Amino acid sequence: MGMSANIVHARVDYRLIHGQVITKWLKQCDAKRIVIIDDKLSKDEFLGSVYKMAAPTGIKADIISVDEAQRRWADDDFYGGAPVLLLFKTVDMAVAAVQAGVSFTKLQIGGLENKPGRKIVHNQISLDKADAEKLAGIEASGSEINFQTIPGEEVESLAQVSAKL
């Protein structure tokens, strides 16, 4: 495992690099790089370039697959160095990354797509039982899960949010 991985913030947000939200988090956690781990997006050059262009000036954004994330975990040049804001589009991608050996102390849930069968549990964040269980699995592996959309807003734990389902 890349011991010097410098992941300062890990977040699940289906909007990924999302205007003011991402700028605020970059400032808050003093990240200088964005790494998106997403299998589908890593294969979509056009959409990938759209997200990369959305990154604020001076912030490098990389989009990699779970396999590549796992391969590069041991490569300190990739995750070491500049502080990294790690982004996932879905809970499933976060689960896959954790299973592949990517680790972070906290995972923030900042935005999940509001599809049918899901319930709004925190601001505009929607959740269903399946995602709640997957997140509980990540928490059991040693990463604290919290729900917060923007800095300064109240933070809720997975337990608090799951109680609303």
Q: Which domain holds residue 84?
A: 7-162
Considering its fold, how many domains does the chain have in total?
1
Measure CA 42 to chain center: 15
Token pair of 84 as six digits: 């990294």
Is 2 contained in some domain?
Answer: no
Q: What is the CATH number of the domain that holds 106?
A: 3.40.35.10
What are the distances in angstroms from CA 143 to CA 47, 50, 54, 74, 108? 30, 30, 28, 20, 10
**Cα angle: 21, vertex 115, 95; to 5 degrees:** 70
Task: State residue 121's pLDDT score.
Answer: 96
pTM above 0.85, yes or no: yes
Is 1 contained in some domain?
Answer: no
| Maximum C-alpha span of the chain | 42
State which residues of the chain have pLDDT below 50: 1-2
Is 88 contained in some domain?
Answer: yes
Measure CA 115 to chain center: 19
Task: State residue 4's pLDDT score.
Answer: 61
Is 46 contained in some domain?
Answer: yes
Cα–Cα distance, 17 to 8 (Å, whole number) = 16
Is 89 contained in some domain?
Answer: yes
Task: State residue 95's pLDDT score.
Answer: 98
Task: State residue 2's pLDDT score.
Answer: 43
Is 51 contained in some domain?
Answer: yes
Is 11 contained in some domain?
Answer: yes
Cα–Cα distance, 62 to 28 (Å, whole number) = 20
